[in-house]
Structure 1
């Protein structure tokens, strides 16, 4: 099998053609070629804004009851007007993640025959070119083991490396200087300041350094630049620290300290430690779905051929899948201070300069970033999100009191580096009352995949219990239906027509997304409380509430209803599919157990796609693929993944959102398409829910033969599968907990009882053999 690499035979002219590296906190997009190379440096904690409490003008339950009455009476216009007064706070110093600076290398001699590559197997990018027939090399990586970005430049001629290097700030305040005149050291400091999402006076500070070492040649430094002339080899080290959540002044010397340690360690050891650290995670999973000669073509060519309908490149799908895992490892490690944001850990300097913000969108985007984390065997990358959710729950207590007068905690549509939890500043998209809950259900997923009982009792249950306390306090009985409902809230970020008019409304009571998330929450809390033999009064309250929750409903057109009422969709082409959450990524709907609801979900998907102005967005396409996978429709799922890779990826395989969404004037990188697409591919190969381990549930004909190793399943299982001509060949299941599950392939099933520490082999007929 060919090594998994992104390959190119020309320079990268811009950011969207550059290649990403990252160590879980510090990252770069590297672009350029022969005459110049740019490292666009980002850092996960480099945010404008600050922590601040956002007050709500509502007096609490009495005002909430008054507001709800308008919606119960069908007066949506008056209800939305009052909600804007009470539940639409000013933005304040919300902030945004910002890029730190550009490291700019300029080379004195032009070259030719440029090639660039990024190896997913060792997380190292390389650039090669020729000068008068002599090769010049650059190699760069972001080391998690040592906390630095490292670059080696060398030539096959003894004096073939000459360049200048300087820093260009990307924020309102940034300065750099030569640490010692005439040496290869630059120091810098900056602050994440901007005036669109904050007042321009608050933000995280950074300080760091860049070191240049050479073999041979001369190194000089002046006027904020370092110049290397006629060296055989040069090494560049870059590191920084920030004052985010820090105490004292240690952060100010963090970059210099890391660079000094890296210099002392030496390049070869830095490189080997980096590769070993990275591969300890990456090597857990392999995927083969076929090979072709296309694997040797430049990646941008492969993308264009796929977009043109020449679908003869199965290895491109495996590359995209492993690229999603690569981006996860680069962006979120066990010790990362923050989870993946809208752009992972990178920043194209576009989303942060418009109304979007490069933040935590918690009405799908952040959740989708983490869809593949457990199943693709990267559970450590979940830990920064878990810690963030714990902090969100703490700050969400204030939002619960300030806006609703309720106990427990709540968060809405967007959040930031400090755990913002208030409603956002426009109710049409910002009053998503279950945004925090949706994100917090990642705790349930982490437990289901790991069966970590200490995590369940000490983290997942306490956080989700407090979320349940909020909804038990907050929800109201609908006077018409007798159901316990949320609201007013939105179905992200969609609108509807009501009362026979064509007016667009966005707020209502008991949206489908809210209700299924609350159902999942109450069910999890009840099961856990029973398991822990704890909180009997709380259990009784949950049982009473669960009896009153509304069911999933099928509308007059056969579709799965998005709202409690069978409203007419004002935007049938809308990009959000949040009401299909019970199909994917959750699992209340499945063809085996709920065939009628499954068919309604399919009708919903077809309705979205058939509208003449379908919003073709990266996260929507990934969600389509996941939904079709859950419906066991491998061809439709494959069609969506093909479209995602062929039409919604830049040349560097990063996914983007098309112009027109949220005021975007150009394609903007959004990470969720990469992660959501990776999750959908994994889901097509392995599903583990509803008490089953379903093998190859949505296998397309294009992947008729193949193998994967190391995918994780609920129940703390690890699964390897080989198949030939669409038929199962062999399965190995390794158990890290004790339990049982039904194993399914096509119409065959078998009961697998497993013990922690044991492995099991299943043949094509699902006959089980214990391997001890």
Structure 2
């Protein structure tokens, strides 16, 4: 089997064993066997809820002053009470992304030799089996080129393909009707009554059409029936009224299917593969061979879990799966970015108090952690555009809740641009949630150095975020530091010095806030200087930066999570928000800040208790944290743990039951994306002009290579190693400028020239310089 395939012996019993495909807007998870197959269909804009203004109570800066005075005096209960009065809005029509429908296909074949596979080289899901002595194949893909999902069903014997197809709604108001002998038309509205009032949500319309070669297709009651065909082709299209200014969206599915059928399946697939591979084929990764490589994917996962056997090819597979899922879920033309479950949705999160939304206290950020380094910058674009819209909506929140300039967003958002605090201050008053997600503008610029993007999108949005924090922050009377607050450290709690007040979540100047604000102010200052603009703002930023509190080491040798050295009320907590300073930021590095690095290590080790809330994003935070501390073996342990313990059989990651109120294991996409980022981070660090090769290479990955990873400064990097030592590397410069290339203690400065490739030997000396050929 190919290294780039997930494959399984036997049917997929349920969604958690299904194979995901997507075109950046429509998603499908396909499961089942020879007798019956189910396709769970989703769409990024199929949201309940509606756009609405969540007004504050008018307390503004005067109210903030009263809260802060309580916190300064150490009266946390009073500060929390005042915050609830002013900064805890009622839940309204927030909404959630909903799954749309199931397509159920009944074949009635008996077989014991079912093979299912997801080919990541071609972005196709397939099944093969034999029944009554004859071979059958099924294949499906979701094409971004044509905006639809297509499938082919074939048998080796003429006239052997027969099945029935029906469409059933999964949520909200939904109806499917047979329209002629070869088409099912459906329409619905995304409604639910847990996250909204049950009446509001987007409308959808779609079509499923069957085309046969020989044989026949006919309508019977509420389904289509294919009889005695040589081959059958399925085409699925749907659209919603989200963001539409007229009624033209209603006809779009029909137009797309007419064009797709005119092209023919083979041309559709060829164009899909060419489009997909223009992104996917940029990066290759070889971490060494595995004895288990010939086994089905689920068996390899169990061996990793139960026997702890090294399987570097499974790590490579997981890495490329994360890249595949990024391309499948987030394309430059996607109308929205990846939500809590990417572009897929099994409905499990929606039936709880959770919502399949944009969590801004780690989940949405982690969805895009790998995008730049794994050379998929175009897939970052939907998030850039969403942040710009969020910033515009966040101006009202800044005014309504704080009486401040600029924009702000908090712990989560939705398709409608929700930016108000969440409806419980303990977790909802994360005042830097919007800033955290906006840091992706900074990342996108630093990797690509696109001056137009900086001028037109990144700087204007981040400048307005800076305007908010310059207006909002206060000077702490005890130490003169400029601090945020009241705010929390997502979603953790502490005991104040007066322990009798009980566990608290709100305070002044949480470490997470200060790290984000420092990065924001520094970036805006550098950008303003580069662009030669906003001299008055530059002066304000320089002064504000001088007043920001330093990172501090607590009494247990840990990196403090709060301004004061509080005792953690929940030492096993899943969030490690303050370690943003270590990853993805670089305010803490072993070379430049060794004492803070030791404190960050102590924080990681201290959180690894038997009671740890062991979920997908926490495993990623451990892996990336240890990677940034050059501890590759510990990073690999957590990557292996993520794959072996926190993935369903289809390699999609999950949050364990019992955490955050979940009553079952819940698919959360961030572990897939974050795990991919963690693998890449062990192989390449880049910041402040440094390119560090193999900085946290695990000892188990003794020999290997990678091609096409991306460093900040618009540089692509290849590397080869043997016996855990670099043997060769190549830098492809997409921009001119100096870089310091490092391996271990070796460091060499290289003046890069745009359009040139630099091949380096094991000692980082230039062996060859050529024009870039790719």
TM norm structure 1: 0.99
Query: What residue is the counterpart of 1:519 in the other structure?
Result: 518
Query: What residue is the counterpart of 1:24 in the other structure?
Result: 24
Alpha-carbon shift at residue 292 of structure 1 (Å): 2.3
Secondary structure of 1:547 counterpart: helix
User: Is the contact made by 1:343 and 1:669 (CA closer than 8 Å) also made in structure 2?
Assistant: yes
TM norm structure 2: 0.99
Query: What residue is the counterpart of 2:179 in the other structure?
Result: 179
Inter-partner Cα distance in structure 2 for 1:137 and 1:689? 48
Secondary structure of 1:528 counterpart: helix
User: Is the contact made by 1:3 and 1:121 (CA closer than 8 Å) also made in structure 2?
Assistant: no
User: What are the residue-to-residue correspondences of 1:260-409 with 2, within 5 Å?
Assistant: 260-409=258-407
Secondary structure of 1:62 counterpart: helix
Query: What residue is the counterpart of 1:683 in the other structure?
Result: 681
Query: What residue is the counterpart of 1:622 in the other structure?
Result: 620
Query: What residue is the counterpart of 1:156 in the other structure?
Result: 156
Alpha-carbon shift at residue 612 of structure 1 (Å): 3.1
Q: Bigger shift: 497-506 or 553-562?
A: 497-506
Inter-partner Cα distance in structure 2 for 1:55 and 1:25? 32
User: What are the residue-to-residue correspondences of 1:82-121 with 2, within 5 Å?
Assistant: 82-121=82-121
Residue from 486, 489, 498 that aligns with 1:488:
486
Inter-partner Cα distance in structure 2 for 1:476 and 1:107? 67
Inter-partner Cα distance in structure 2 for 1:676 and 1:580? 15
User: Is the contact made by 1:355 and 1:662 (CA closer than 8 Å) also made in structure 2?
Assistant: no
Inter-partner Cα distance in structure 1 for 2:687 and 2:244? 41
Q: For residues 250-293 of structure 1, give each alpha carbon's deviation from its aligned partner in whole angstroms, at most 9, with x where no partner exists.
A: 11111111111111110100110010010000000000001123
Inter-partner Cα distance in structure 1 for 2:35 and 2:132? 15
User: Is the contact made by 1:142 and 1:149 (CA closer than 8 Å) also made in structure 2?
Assistant: yes
Q: For residues 714-752 of structure 1, give each alpha carbon's deviation from its aligned partner in whole angstroms, at most 9, with x where no partner exists.
A: 010000001111111111100111111110001111011
User: What are the residue-to-residue correspondences of 1:457-472 with 2, within 5 Å?
Assistant: 457-472=455-470
Query: What residue is the counterpart of 1:35 in the other structure?
Result: 35
User: What are the residue-to-residue correspondences of 1:418-567 with 2, within 5 Å?
Assistant: 418-501=416-499, 503-567=502-566
Q: Note if 1:576 corresponds to 2:575.
A: yes
Alpha-carbon shift at residue 123 of structure 1 (Å): 0.3
Secondary structure of 2:129 counterpart: strand
User: Is the contact made by 2:94 and 2:196 (CA closer than 8 Å) also made in structure 1?
Assistant: yes
Query: What residue is the counterpart of 1:145 in the other structure?
Result: 145
Inter-partner Cα distance in structure 2 for 1:286 and 1:203? 42
Q: Note if 1:134 corresponds to 2:134.
A: yes
Query: What residue is the counterpart of 2:414 in the other structure?
Result: 416
User: What are the residue-to-residue correspondences of 1:635-646 with 2, within 5 Å?
Assistant: 635-646=633-644
User: Is the contact made by 1:214 and 1:232 (CA closer than 8 Å) also made in structure 2?
Assistant: yes
Q: For residues 618-665 of structure 1, give each alpha carbon's deviation from its aligned partner in whole angstroms, at most 9, with x where no partner exists.
A: 001001100000000010000000000000000000000000112111
Inter-partner Cα distance in structure 2 for 1:315 and 1:109? 34
Inter-partner Cα distance in structure 2 for 1:197 and 1:445? 32
Structure 2: gaps spanning 5 or more residues? none
Secondary structure of 1:592 counterpart: coil
User: Is the contact made by 2:98 and 2:190 (CA closer than 8 Å) also made in structure 1?
Assistant: yes
User: Is the contact made by 1:58 and 1:87 (CA closer than 8 Å) also made in structure 2?
Assistant: no
Inter-partner Cα distance in structure 1 for 2:150 and 2:348? 26
Alpha-carbon shift at residue 59 of structure 1 (Å): 2.4
> RMSD value over aligned CA atoms?
0.9
Inter-partner Cα distance in structure 2 for 1:633 and 1:59? 48
Q: For residues 389-412 of structure 1, give each alpha carbon's deviation from its aligned partner in whole angstroms, at most 9, with x where no partner exists.
A: 000000000000000000000000
Secondary structure of 1:322 counterpart: helix
Alpha-carbon shift at residue 65 of structure 1 (Å): 0.4
Inter-partner Cα distance in structure 2 for 1:357 and 1:2? 37
Query: What residue is the counterpart of 2:186 in the other structure?
Result: 188
Alpha-carbon shift at residue 111 of structure 1 (Å): 2.5
Secondary structure of 2:499 counterpart: coil
Alpha-carbon shift at residue 222 of structure 1 (Å): 3.0
Query: What residue is the counterpart of 2:751 in the other structure?
Result: 753
Q: Note if 1:660 corresponds to 2:662.
A: no
Alpha-carbon shift at residue 217 of structure 1 (Å): 1.6
Inter-partner Cα distance in structure 1 for 2:631 and 2:676? 17
Structure 1: gaps spanning 5 or more residues? none
Q: Note if 1:59 corresponds to 2:91.
A: no
Inter-partner Cα distance in structure 1 for 2:607 and 2:482? 29
Secondary structure of 2:150 counterpart: strand
Inter-partner Cα distance in structure 1 for 2:375 and 2:54? 38
Inter-partner Cα distance in structure 2 for 1:314 and 1:172? 44
Inter-partner Cα distance in structure 2 for 1:256 and 1:39? 20
Query: What residue is the counterpart of 1:590 in the other structure?
Result: 589
Query: What residue is the counterpart of 1:200 in the other structure?
Result: 198
Inter-partner Cα distance in structure 1 for 2:381 and 2:689? 26
Secondary structure of 2:37 counterpart: strand
Alpha-carbon shift at residue 81 of structure 1 (Å): 1.2
User: Is the contact made by 1:50 and 1:202 (CA closer than 8 Å) also made in structure 2?
Assistant: yes
Query: What residue is the counterpart of 1:234 in the other structure?
Result: 232
User: What are the residue-to-residue correspondences of 1:717-756 with 2, within 5 Å?
Assistant: 717-756=715-754
Inter-partner Cα distance in structure 2 for 1:667 and 1:145? 34
Inter-partner Cα distance in structure 2 for 1:6 and 1:557? 44
Alpha-carbon shift at residue 538 of structure 1 (Å): 0.7
Q: Bigger shift: 285-294 or 411-420?
A: 285-294
Inter-partner Cα distance in structure 1 for 2:689 and 2:604? 26
- How many residues align? The count is 769
User: Is the contact made by 1:208 and 1:253 (CA closer than 8 Å) also made in structure 2?
Assistant: no
Inter-partner Cα distance in structure 2 for 1:654 and 1:725? 32
Secondary structure of 2:726 counterpart: strand
